Structures are given as structure tokens and as C-alpha cells.
Structure 1
Amino acid sequence: MADSGEKQLDTARTARAPGQCNKPLSQPPHALSPEQTITELGANLERGLDASEATRRIEEYGRNELSQKKGVQPLKIFLEQIFNAMTLILVLALAASFAVQAWIPGGILGGLIVLNIFIGYLQTLQAEKTIDSLRSLGNPSCQVYRDGKTITVQTSEVVPGDVVDLSTGDSVPADIRLVEATNMEADEALLTGESVPALKNPKLVLGPETGPGDRLNVVFSSTIITKGRGRGIVFATGMFTEIGLIATALNETSRSGAQVKAKREDGREPSVWTWTADGLLVAWAAVAEFLGLTVGTPLQRKLSQLFLIILGIAILCAIIAIAANKFDDRKDIIIYAITTAVGTIPVSLLLVLTVTMAAGTKKMLERQVIVRNLSSLEAIGGVTNVCSDKTGTITQGRMIARQAWIPGLGTYSVEPGNDVYNPATGQVTFAPLQPIDRKSDPEDSDSSSDFVTGAIFNLAEELTSKSALEGYLNVASFANLATLEQEPEGWQARGAPTEVAIEVFARRFGRSKVELSKSTKAQWREITEFPFDSDVKHMVKDLEVVIQFTEEDFGGIANNIQSLLESAEIA
């Protein structure tokens, strides 16, 4: 799996046209019609891929996964704590102390170095193990059409050419060219930053250079279907998806421009001096990266630079101390020179910094934030302002129905609780007025104390006693594609935020689409659905009434028929 991911990463680094698939087609799929895409990908919309063909394509293209680094490597973490500029400078001072048999200063310095290494090692190892354990929690799956039937497979087993069925609440497993869509909208905020879901249209054929935000005939990996349903053909998986390209850019390390090969404008081979200069620059870039001068957070780079400067000052002080004694090689003079040099090095700075960051990590863990690397706290602490182009990028995207006006009846108001998806929280009140009749309150525009006539404590009884409310909630339940389910971790909702808010309001009174049309005591059965259209401003569902008879009902009907027959005989 790791080898496959690394192979995908290396291949994905090569240039490719925007929106192309694992193996480039004649045009990007968004610039092809659905029929052309199916033909070039070797897909079969009627039967889907065969199991053997799907297996072959997994071997050819690799698994549908983003490349990941290897698991927890304790030895690597331990070596990273030792081989850095700050620790190596302290080790040099320790070696110098032991060389002249300055055991007490050397012992104190050695203890500080060991303590610093192990604190950093244990904190980093614990964070890496926590992050690694989170990878095993997610096991996503999707609906794929293979061998003439719809089956559920792991997302990692999806291959180019697969026919995938998508519905409200699904996470898109790969980049997919849509061939069918019914009122489908997808939340693509992670790619485009747009908080409003994008309405998809599979019939569109766009230009090859169309950007991801304007590809309305394509859905992208890791985005969420917020509304409608559809079917499409997978054309890109793993590191070849749009989200994979972002991962590729994040995995690339910044290198010095010295690593670029020098080329003469006239096309001739560079001279020996040019090669030598380039080699020195590359070597310096490697040394600077090893010492931490060009990598890490700003704080890490500044500390590395500080310790190198201090090392130079320490060596200069040692030379001055020896020169003042006419370069005499007596032991006491050498000990004095080393003591002077070591005294200039803040040996406790690294320890204090590590302990401080460890304390910050523990504090963030109490607030349910996992810190993978101690140095990341410095980057977080350096944030002073957060700029956003729109509220949708930082809001939760959750809505709640606060008021519902039923003509001829009145207005129901909801005071929500902490969990907006829980229909059992919050108080429902009723007033036999229209919202427009509410008196304004200059001190608090949200106050409705003069508008509410009374709280409702028995919502089920309210529903049975008012037929207008029952009809209103029936429409709210059926003309809705959102789903609301109670799971062990709490209430979970899927669908567009507006429809979720309407579904939660209907559930407060015990009304839901599942109970009305899909349960054993269902009153209606859905026949046809005409999805919401922005032109007509409504959606339509064709329903049929389900009539259920009990044994007593059948007995009463039989008695009535018998009475009719007897009356006919007498007549």
C-alpha cells in the first residue's frame, strides 16, 4: 500500500492537464460528453465493470488512497531529537568538558541534554501514536454498480471506469464525471471556498481549461452531496484527484534554487567551474537544512540561527581566553577557556522551551485538540488575526426553524437548545397571530414575550387536535430530502441545512417521512418525485394512500355483506 502510494505521488508530480484522469484522455472529462467519457474510460453503464477488470485496474492504477507516510517510527523520532543544530552544539560543549576532565559542569550539561531529548521524544511519540490511531477509525464505503448489480465496496477499491451511485449525504469517493443527476448539489467548500453548494448538470460540456469551481458536470473526491441524487463514471482516483493534487503540493519540500541544474542559453554543457559552484551551493543547502536554518517554523529557524551565532561567540571567547595566557596549554587554562565558552551557551533555553510547549500541548489536549508536533504550537500562537472573505467559511452550516406560520391557525415558535439537530430539546410555543403582528422591541429585536401566548408541553396532542398543523407537517416531511437519525454519539443529519431545519421541526411533533411512507404503519406510498426547480419554486411528489384493514374490519365488512344479501332475498 505504501509503495503504491509513493508510486502515485511520483507520477502525480509530473505535469498533467487540469481535471485529467490517471491516464490522460483526449480531453479532460469535463470537456467531453458523457458518452465520450464512457467510451474513452472503457466503462459500461449497463453492467458496470466486471470483478476481474476491477481487480486488474487496481493493480494498474493503484488503490484509491492518498499517499501517506509510514506509521509511527520511534527510532526516527528519537534521532530527530538528537540530530539538530541546538542539541549538537550542546553535545560539542559536553565533549569539550569531558575532554579536560571537567566532570561536574559536563555532568550537569549532559543531564540537561538527556532530559531535553527524552521529553521531546515522549511528547512527539505520543502525538504520532494518537494521529496514527485515528487513521483506523475511518472506513468509508460507497455504492458501485458492478456485474449488473449495485454493491457496497470500500472507497479504496474504487477504480477509474467504475459506475458510482450518489445520494444525499454521501461523501464522493473519487473524481466523477456525472452522467445522470436529479437536483444534485455538492458542498465543495474544501476546494473552492464557496459556502453555497454547487448545482450539478451532467449535460454540460465545458472548456478544457475550466477551473474546478466551474466544473458543474463533475463531482470531486471528499466533497459531500448535500441534495439530490445521481450517477457518474470515476475518472481519477488517489493522488490524481483534485484533492490529491493539493496533497502532492503539501508533500513537496521546499528546496533551495541551487538544486536546479544550470543550463547554458546556447545549449552547451556547463563548464567545470559552473558544476563546482552548483555542487557547493547544493551542499550548503543540504547543510543548512540539516542545521534547521531553512526548514521548520519561524521560531525553530531563529533558534537554530541563534545557537550557531552563540557557538561562534563561544569559540571566539575561548580563543581570547587562551590568547590572554599566551596560548599556554596548561590544564587549568584550557578548563578556564572551555568554562568561558560554555558559559555563553544558554543550555537551559532548549529545556525551558520544550517544557513550555509540552505544557501547552497538555492544555490543548484538555480542550480536545490533538497536537502532532510541539513546534506547531508556535505557529498557532503567532496568529493574531483571522481574515475571511465570507461567513460561510467559518460557520458550522447549521440552521434551525425558529418560527412556522400556518394561515388560519397561528404561529409556532421554537427556542432552541444546545443541540440544533435534537428535536427533543428546546421549548415550542404558540400564538394565534401572524409574525407581522408581532410588536417590535427596541431593546431586544429577538424578544417575543409579547407575541407568545403559551408554551406547548404535549406536542403529540397538539398534532392530533389541529388538522391544519398535521397537513402542514405532512408537506414539510414529504417535500424534503434531508435525513435525521439518532446515533450513539448523538443526532446526525444529512442534507441541505434548510431542509434539515425543516425536518427537525417536523420531528418535534413526531412527523417524519420514514414513518409516513416507509414504516409498517405507513399512510402513504411515494410513486413519483418531481425535484425542486428554481423556476417554479417548489417540488412535487405523487403519493397514493395505503389502506390497511384489521381482522375486525374484515369481520365487519363480511357481516355487512351478509345483511345485504339477506335483505335482497326478503325483497
Structure 2
Amino acid sequence: MHSDNYDDKYYAMPSEEVIKHFATSEHDGLTTKEVEFRLKKFGKNKLAVKKKVTVWHRFAEQFKELMIIILIIAAIIAFLLGETIDASIILFIVVLNAIIGVFQEYKAEKAIEALKKMMTPHALVIRNGKEQRISAEELVPGDILILEEGSKVPADARIIEAAMLKVDEAVLTGESIPRAKNEAVIGSREVALGDRHNMVFMGTTITSGRAKAVVTATGIHTEFGRIAGLTAGIKEEKSPLQKELVRVGKFIAKAALIICAAVFLLGLLSGNNLFDMFLFAVSLGVAAVPEGLPATMTIALALGVQRMAKRKAIIRKLSSVETLGSTTVICTDKTGTLTKNEMTVKRIWVNNKMISVEGEGYEPRGGFLYKDNYYSDYDKDESFKKILRTGLLCNNAVLQKEGKDKWVIVGDPTEGALVVSAVKAGFNQEQERAAYKRIYEIPFSSDTKRMITIHKYKDKHKSKNKDKGGYEGKEEVIAFMKGATKVVLEKCSYIEVNGKVRELSEKEKEDIKVISREMAERALRVLGFAYKRLGGSEQHDYDYSKIKEQDFVFIGLQGMIDPPRP
């Protein structure tokens, strides 16, 4: 990489120049050797974290509560008065209270660290000429990012290719409406953050479309990192229980001082000895301090933490137990947190038949069942093969094998489930995608709720050349569609059943919607599939972005589920 006169204003540079600036390749990305060098130079792609709190520091923190300070003062006074037993009991309670608090917080911290390791965000990049999924922390400037709908942007990046891209930038700009993005150069060099339509920023979310982008900044050098640096000094708010204990502590301290002072003065006025009255007043003050209260509170909270732990809930701070009791709404992430984030196709509805799919996760093993019996004729069922082919081709995910037994999906988990269901039936994803060359894509979006891909292929049924051991059919163009059942049905005029195409009636559409709802009630995510033949490939000058989304042939439904974590 080299310096230039753009002052990191990559939005004002042509994408080709940005790629050249970072000494990378749009198609091949960085090499492993170059990534290692840049990791050493720029560091990992993570925000600055607070220094790890030591056990001794955590122990010292337990003595900052006002009630504990009052008890320590009472113990010192008791010791000076010769009440060593009382002083020892008070100190024992104070230390026990601190030990319980430290032990619980240490256990919770370890459990949270383990959870963080499990939930490390990932990024889809091109390296060494191949798409691969890596830990987002391993990103470096110059990496080529692949961004898809629903994914979090893991670093600041300059867009080099985009298709109907929209990004939710509320975390950065406060703008609630997703912004449309594209790769076009911005002429001005002084542009507000929210108007940089060719940049994506760490922490934002892709709401629709797809994009390819080159990473321009990572970690604390990102826009999000700068904001995090500004907020690092914000102090932690005390919990309601901590505030209440401070209030009680102040009240007891004031009341004890007033009563002791009154007793001391009344004693003097009554003619008692000054030293005797002082000892009496101090003893009264020590006796007024509820030395058992902190220990009672800590033990009660610790028991609450243990009960929560049995229900798989981790409480970091003891005082949070009381706060949790006031909670009315809990917002939690489901995908990848409560579930494995390994979508698996479990039901396929085609030819008016409901077929079950065996297997779980991304391993492409498992058969097909119809009415509890193995569906052995699926390789002869043209419509069944067509719905699987549609799911495989109207798709951007790739199934890869890691090591001996581990299978992973590079791309969206929902699309990955469709790839796996096709591979289970014997489809080869590389061969199918080579035979059906994609020439256009209309990405899925939350607005349209459908995805369309257009492919060129040779229709082997039209012209067969046995002498060359293959097919030399005429090149045809076909569109595949997947999406929400209702949306797909609205664009269909025909249905294929047992390899034969006929008109699709309104009653049949309603019946299919009922079947889709029944599948959804079983916690399945349901997608509808359809296709449309567009004629010969001689229409090379046709603008496929203007394809009429009507008269598609409906094939069937696939229902998938994200299995819960054990």
C-alpha cells in the first residue's frame, strides 16, 4: 500500500483506484502471506477493550459501598475500644461478603467469556481467489468483502459492486430509513457520513441486496471505533439496589451521629464523665450499625444467582438480580444464540405430496421419506428434482467441507439449507451451476420478498448428439424464483405436477397457502419455488432487469428449521 493525496477520502476515489491503493485484487483478494503481514501491521479488527480486571482489583471494589465503609469504621472503633470480639465479627462479615461477591462475579465473567468465543462474528471474504468465511477479527485493510442481506458490516469498506443494496445506518447516523448504496464515485471531497453512498461502515446492517467491497479501515480506525472511543469514559450506572443501599447507609450514618451526639451532650449536661460519655456514645453508634445487613443481602442475592444459573441464566453482578425482578420485556437474539444457525430443510411439498427430509445441520447425508417410507423414486421424479434444482441455482451459498467430517456454508444459512437438500438428492453444486450459467440476478429484499436468477443452459431434450457423449441442445434462457409463498404464488399462472404443466386456479393458490401456513405452524421457515422459460439465448440484448414477473410455473414449497442448541 502507498500514501496518496486523498486523506482517506475513499468515497471520492474510483473503485479501481481504491483497489490499487490497497494493493489487492477484486477477483482474488489478498494472499495468506499478505494477510499475516497486515495483521501484524494494523492489528486485529476489534474495538479497544477495557483492561482485564484482576481478582485483587475486583476484591477491592467490594469495599466501596457506603454500608461496608461504615462497618469498617465501626470495626476499627470497636477494636480501639477493646471490643476485639465485636471487631473481629464485623470484619469477618465484611470479608465474607467481599469473597462471595468476587467469587460470583469471577464465575459469571468466565461464563460470559466462553459465550463471547462461541458468538464471534464472521465475515465472508475473497482470499487466495476463493470465497471463505473467517472470523471478523481477522479482517485487514484490502480484504474483499462479500455482503448479503441480513449481514452485519464487519469493517468500513468502499463498495466496488452492488445490486439493489440498502443499508441500515441508524447506529451511526440515527437515520431510521435504510439508505440506498452503490459503487458510483462521489465528486465532492467534503461529504457528511450519511451521504457517502459508496461506503459501508462497521456495525451497520445490510437490509437488502448484495455487494462486494474493499475494506478501508478496521478496529478503532473505523467510524464506529471512533464513536466507541468517545463513549469509553462513560461511568457505569448503579443498579436500583445499590442506590437503595447507599440511601440506607447515609440514613443510618446520619441517624447514628445525631443520636450519639444527643446522648453525649445529655450525658455531659447530667454531670457524667467526659471520657465515659464518649465511650458510651461511640459504643451506641457501633451497636446501631446493622453489621449483618450486607452479608444477608449478599447471601440472598447469591442464592438468587444460583437459582438463575440452574435455568441457564448468567448474572454478572450480584446487584443485577434485584434489577432483573423489575424487568418486563427481554429482547434476545435467536439465530445463532438460542439456535445453532444451521438451517435444515425438513419438509418438501411437491406433486401434492409432503416429503420429509432426514438429517440435521449442513452434513449432506439423509434420505427422503413419503408417508414414513423411503421415497426411493425421487431420482425419477422430474418435478421433485426441479424444485431442488431451483433452490440450488436461485442461491448464492456454497457448501464446503472442512477437515474430515465438518461441513460449513459460505453464505446465508437459509440458502445453505437449500444447497444441502439438493446435494442430499445427488446434485453436484459445481456442475449444476456450470451447466446453468447465471446471467442476471434480482436479489431478495425485505420489500419484494423474492429472489430471481436468470440462467443460460442447453436444453438436452431438443437436440441430442450421442457421438460426442453429451448434448448439443439449443441454448435456452430460464428464470428461477424463490421467496415468500404468497408473493411467489401471485406471480404464477401455472403449476407443475408430476412433470406436467397446467393452469393454476385461484382455489389451488388458496389451498397452497393453507399448506404453507400449516408448515409454518410447525416452526418451519417456508419458501415457495417457481420457474419461467424465457426462450432462446439469441435474445442477448434483452434487458433482464425489466423481466415481467408473471406467468411463472409454481413447483412447490420447502420448509426448513434452525435446530435449537442442546
Tell me the TM-score range normalised by the shorter chain.
0.5 to 0.7
Establish whether residue 466 from structure 1 lines up as the match of residue 381 from structure 2: yes
Output aligned runs, 1:524-543, within 5 Å: 525-526=434-435, 528-533=437-442, 538-542=452-456
Are positions 1:372 and 2:316 aligned together? yes
Tell me if structure 1 keeps the 8 A contact 2:398–2:411.
yes
Contact 1:170 1:224 (8 Å CA) reproduced: yes
**Are 2:214 and 1:298 aligned?**
no
Q: Is the 8 A contact 1:102 1:335 kept in 2?
A: no
Distance 1:385-1:531 versus aligned 2 partners, 3 A rule: same
- State whether residues 401 and 407 of structure 2, in contact with CA within 8 Å, keep that contact through their aligned partners in structure 1: yes
Identity of aligned residues (%): 28
Task: Measure, in 2, the Cα distance between the counterparts of 1:43 and 1:380.
Answer: 51
In the TM superposition, residue 174 of structure 1 has moved relative to its aligned partner by 1.9
| One-letter code aligned to 1:125 | Y
Is 2:196 aligned against 1:218? no
Give the 3 Å change call, closer, same or farther, for CA 400–61 of structure 1 in structure 2: closer
Count of aligned pairs between the two proteins: 447
Residue among 128, 146, 167 paired with 1:166? 146
Maintained 8 Å contact 2:365/2:424: no
Question: Structure 1: how far apart are the matches of 2:428 and 2:33?
Answer: 43
**Is the Cα–Cα contact under 8 Å of residues 72 and 129 in structure 1 kept in the other structure?**
no
Is 2:131–2:410's contact at 8 Å kept on the other side of the alignment? no
Of residues 60, 80, 97, the one that matches 1:99 is 80
Q: Is the aligned partner of 1:113 residue 2:94?
A: yes
Deviation at 1:425, TM superposition (A): 10
Q: 2:67 aligns with which of 81, 86, 96?
A: 86
Match of 2:428 in 1: 516
Q: Which has the higher strand share?
A: 2
SS in 1 for 2:424: coil
How far did 1:380 drift?
3.2
Query: Hey, what does 1:476 align to over in structure 2?
Result: 391
- Give CA deviations for 1:287-341 in whole Å, capped at 9, x if unaligned: xxxxxxx952233233223212321211111111212211745666445323432
Is contact 1:403-1:411 (8 Å) kept? no
Partner SS state of residue 425, structure 2: coil
Structure 2 match to 1:457: 373
* 1-structure distance, mates of 2:358, 2:313: 27
- 1:56-95 deviation digits (Å, cap 9, x = unpaired): 8767755432111223411111111123322111101111
Instruction: Give the residue type in structure 2 aligned to 1:77.
Output: R
Deviation at 1:414, TM superposition (A): 6.5
Name stretches of at least 5 consecutive residues in structure 1 with no aligned partner: 1-21, 255-293, 430-454, 547-552, 557-571
Letter in 1 for 2:316: R
State the one-letter code of the partner of 2:397.
Answer: A
**Corresponding position of 1:319:** 261
Task: Verify: 1:232 aligned to 2:186, yes or no.
Answer: no
Specify the alignment match of 1:263 in structure 2.
Answer: none
3-state SS of the aligned residue for 2:157?
A: strand
Q: CA deviation at 1:187?
A: 8.5
1:238 Cα offset (Å): 0.9
What RMSD in Å do the two structures reach over aligned CA positions?
Answer: 5.5
Whether the 8 Å CA contact 2:268–2:277 is kept in 1: the answer is no
Question: Any conservation in 1 of the 2:15–2:185 contact (CA below 8 Å)?
Answer: no
- Find the aligned partners of 1:53 and 1:500 in 2 and give their Cα distance: 30
Q: What is aligned with 1:73?
A: 54
Shift of 1:510: 2.7
Question: C-alpha distance in 2, partners of 1:428/1:149?
Answer: 36
Hey, what's the Cα distance between the residues in 2 that align with 1:120 and 1:201? 52
- Counterpart residue type for residue 376 of structure 1: S
Write the distance in 2 (CA, Å) between the matches of 1:69 and 1:385. Answer: 29
Structure 2 unaligned blocks of 5 or more: 461-465, 470-566
Match of 2:562 in 1: none
Distance in 2 of aligned mates of 1:152 and 1:385 = 34
Out of 326, 349, 355, the position equivalent to 1:382 is 326
Gap change, CA 1:206 and 1:321, over 3 Å in 2: farther
Give SS of 1:234's match. strand
Q: Which residue in the other structure is 2:285 paired with? A: 341
| Deviation for aligned residue 1:239 | 1.5
Counterpart of 1:349, as a letter, is: L
The AA in structure 2 aligned to 1:305 is R
Which residues of 2 match residues 83-482 of structure 1 at below 5 A? 83-132=64-113, 138=120, 143=125, 156=137, 158-160=139-141, 162-166=142-146, 172-181=153-162, 201-203=182-184, 205=186, 217-221=198-202, 231-254=212-235, 295-326=237-268, 328-329=272-273, 333-385=277-329, 406=350, 409-412=351-354, 455-459=371-375, 461-482=376-397
Is residue 155–residue 217 contact of structure 2 (8 Å, CA) maintained in 1? Answer: yes
- Contact 1:178–1:219 (CA<8 Å) still a contact in 2? yes
